[in-house]
Amino acid sequence: VSLFVSLCVNTLATFLRPRLKCIDGELCLITGAGGALGRLFALEFAKEGAHLVLWDCNSAANEQTAKLARELGVQVHTYTVDLSQRHSIYDTADRVRTEVGEVSILVNNAGVVAGRRLLDCPDELLERTLLVNCHALFWMTKAFLPQMKSKNHGHIVTVASALGLFSTACVEDYCASKFGAVGFHESLTHELQAEDLDGIKTTLVCPYIVDTGMFAGCEIRKELRSVIPPLEPLYTVQQSMKAILAEQQMVCIPRLMYIPFLKKPKQHCKTLNLTKCIFLISSDKCMLPFIKNTEQKTSNGHIKTA
């Protein structure tokens, strides 16, 4: 029920033009900052005047993001972190507090997918998806929320996915992790509200498939592509930023993702209109080409990252 209420409230919010808050001088930490979305988030936050702490497991990619952000005139600090390792998160968080200061905006953006069929996927790859996409949210929040609570000031952003609201075949690890991310974020929001910490904001971001290469090979039916094609990364981040700066609790991109019929099983298609049927039917097989593409390209446990 609470998720449905959030969907309704935030659907209305997307049609309004709320006042955007100023984050100039705030310290923003972004995970997965070396990836496509992470880099764009870093640049958008830099344009708003926020100073950056960038985390990624790929040092070279992270430094490239830092270079671009510094050209916009903000302070940037980079750290190489393995989000699948709890102690790596806690140890690096301690370093950030000592070397940089208190983080007031936390953007949990990092994400991975195994890209294998369930019965063909090594257990360690399945575990890594859950660790990075879901478990890390717990450790990141435990590391940085206490500082926010002490001042009743902060903002926690969870970049989840439309696949955290409904599922499709052959990406069980990713769907499970994103469903977990959505549940975690929603419960955390309720906890902050129950404790009257109205100065700490939360935003849940649920985009449709984004054209970052993470799901390279995914084939969406042509009937559906004309309605909701894969999202451009910059558009996705810009829409997310509008929601964050407006302190919107949830944003689905595109707006069609707000429609609650997506949770219904496809045997109910006869009661829905054609567009809904196309989505429900095609979503079952759209990832099969992605899986085949990954199987052809990898033979040593390679992991696709956002």
Give me the active site residues, please. Answer: 174
54 φ/ψ angles, rounded to the nearest 5 degrees: -110, 125
In this structure, what token pair is assigned to residue 100? 């940089």
Q: Which residue has the tokens 């009743």?
A: 152
